[in-house]
Structure 1
Amino acid sequence: MDPYTHAPPPPPLPPRPATRRWWRRRPLVVAGAVLVPSVGIALLLHAGGPSARGPVRDDARPPEGTATGSPSTKPAKPAVKPSKPSGPPALVGKNLKEARGIASAAGFDVVSHDASDQDAEQWDTDNWKVCFQTSAGQRNGDRPALDLGVVRVEAPCPAADGEKPPWPTMPAVTGLTFARAVETLKPVGFRKVEPESAYSDVALPGVADPWKVCFQDPRPGGEVENPQFGTVYLKLAPPDAPCPERPYAELRP
């Protein structure tokens, strides 16, 4: 019997390793292809490379000595001390109340005194005006002060500080018409000019402009102090009648 008539069967092949299907691997490949470029671009932008921001220009660099830190690291500015006033403001002619405000805003204190011969107190600062201005040294530390010589707003300024104000003199208006007399008295600043008839038996007309002045009060030549509070009384005669010898005489006795 031939021993080689039936050959023994070949040995079995080793098992093949398990493999994944292609449709299961592709999503991973695609995700990796998308993820890798994105991460690379982000890293380039974060690193601030030339491809992300472009080349740095010389003129864009901060000048030397300039602080480049955050705002919190900047040095604090030194406190600026208020500067002293360069010179006093001109206050002559101004109302005392206004002058005080201007001087204070310019860095000056103010003291005041009556510039006339009356030595009155200035309680109502609205009713006084500045005639003289001098330095009064320094008060309240380094703050300079001004001494203001003032008079009542209706009074003229004296020629020198402490002298009597030059009040106007009463002009002579006798012999003038009433209309002309009123014009002559206007610059003095009287509060009122009151016409009266010089005759007791002649009534004054409604318009006495053409009548002539026979007597006046105050008398001419005297000093008129505070004329803004005073009244002038003028006694008149008709244009066709002479002036009487005394006021309130009868024209036709």
Structure 2
Amino acid sequence: MDPYAPPPPPAGPAARPWWRRPGIVVLGVLMVVGGGLLVSGDPGGRPGAGVGDAKEAGRPEVSVSPSSVEPTATPSVPAGPPRLVGKVLEEAQEVADGAGYDVVTHDASDRDDGQWDADGWKVCFQTAGGQRGGGRPVLDLGVVRVDSPCPAADGEAVSWPVMPGVAGATLVRAGEMLEAVGIRKVRPESVYTDVVLPADPGAWRVCFQEPAPGEEVENPQYATAYLKVAPPDAACPEEPYARLRPDTP
């Protein structure tokens, strides 16, 4: 070796294996990313459709299960109409409304009176009244005044009680017979003009009465029975306002 020969140039860096060369690394990364996109594509074969669509829409995908969807509410249908016959109209309206029904009313008698005061009428008949414009079902109520008896059929005249015949009965017994048909007011009077009615005329007997026996008494709770009575030891005269002792001055 020539001692005066120039030294050899320094050795360059060692050669890298082929798999660590920059071009190969970049290509590998792209292949991995591309493969991931291919794997995440939609079932129809469009690569990356699920991820791309979600990103383009600006919102994440949300899966909805059938149990998470609330069913559409349907209008409730009443199971059946409540029994309203016998109730005061005001209460009947409240019960019907709570059961899902609307109410219309009419006079159940032959009078065709208007029902302005709901607490003054009672229900005698009820029928289905159809449905209003797809709304709630309707009940048609036939009503009469609270103190009135119901007619035999809807729209017929009310059958009021008749005056019982109380002549010959004691005043106490006559009062019981009158109360049985709803007459509460009894006004007794001595049948003789010359005999004074005592403080307790319960044992006196009825000679004449008004209203007459068999006469229909409308609204008997407001009626008054006028009774002419005689002492227990005296017979009834032929006419009222007679004198028991005509010869006595």
Both structures adopt the same fold (TM-score exceeding 0.5): yes
In structure 2, the residue matched to 1:15 is none
In structure 2, the residue matched to 1:210 is 203
Q: Distance in 2 between matches of 1:244 and 1:142?
A: 71
Alignment partner of 1:156 out of 146, 149, 157? 149
In structure 2, the residue matched to 1:38 is none
In structure 1, the residue matched to 2:236 is 243
- Residue 76 (structure 1) shift: 6.6
Q: Aligned letter for 1:96?
A: L
Q: Aligned letter for 2:244?
A: L
Do structure 1's residue 81 and structure 2's residue 86 form an aligned pair? no
Q: Distance in 2 between matches of 1:90 and 1:249?
A: 57
In structure 1, the residue matched to 2:118 is 125
Q: Secondary structure of 2:139's match?
A: strand
Q: Aligned letter for 1:135?
A: A
Q: Secondary structure of 1:194's match?
A: strand
Do structure 1's residue 98 and structure 2's residue 74 form an aligned pair? no
- Residue 173 (structure 1) shift: 0.4
Q: Distance in 2 between matches of 1:106 and 1:139?
A: 16
Identity of aligned residues (%): 64
Q: Aligned letter for 1:212?
A: R
- Residue 117 (structure 1) shift: 0.7
- Residue 79 (structure 1) shift: 5.5
Alignment partner of 2:169 out of 157, 176, 185? 176
In structure 2, the residue matched to 1:135 is 128
- Residue 252 (structure 1) shift: 1.3
Q: Distance in 2 between matches of 1:77 and 1:244?
A: 90
In structure 2, the residue matched to 1:192 is 185
Moved more, 74-83 or 227-236: 74-83
Q: Aligned letter for 2:136?
A: R
* Cα contact 2:178–2:184 (8 A) shared by 1: no
- Residue 152 (structure 1) shift: 0.7
The aligned length equals 180
Q: Distance in 2 between matches of 1:220 and 1:87?
A: 47
Q: Distance in 1 between matches of 2:131 and 2:71?
A: 27
In structure 1, the residue matched to 2:109 is 116
- Residue 191 (structure 1) shift: 3.3
TM-score (norm 2): 0.69
In structure 1, the residue matched to 2:40 is none
- Residue 77 (structure 1) shift: 4.0
Do structure 1's residue 230 and structure 2's residue 223 form an aligned pair? yes
Moved more, 215-224 or 137-146: 137-146
Structure 2 runs not aligned, ≥5 long: 1-66
- Residue 78 (structure 1) shift: 4.3
- Residue 142 (structure 1) shift: 2.6
Which segments of structure 1 move beyond 2 Å, counting only runs of 4 or more?
74-82
In structure 2, the residue matched to 1:63 is none
Q: Deviations over 1:142-187 (max 9, x none)?
A: 3110100001111111111000111111110001111111111111
Q: Aligned letter for 1:110?
A: V
Q: Secondary structure of 2:225's match?
A: strand
Q: Distance in 2 between matches of 1:147 and 1:161?
A: 11
Q: Distance in 1 between matches of 2:127 and 2:71?
A: 36
In structure 2, the residue matched to 1:48 is none
Q: Secondary structure of 1:182's match?
A: helix
Q: Aligned letter for 2:114?
A: E
- Residue 75 (structure 1) shift: 4.2
TM-score (norm 1): 0.68
Q: Secondary structure of 1:228's match?
A: helix
- Residue 139 (structure 1) shift: 1.2
Structure 1 runs not aligned, ≥5 long: 1-73
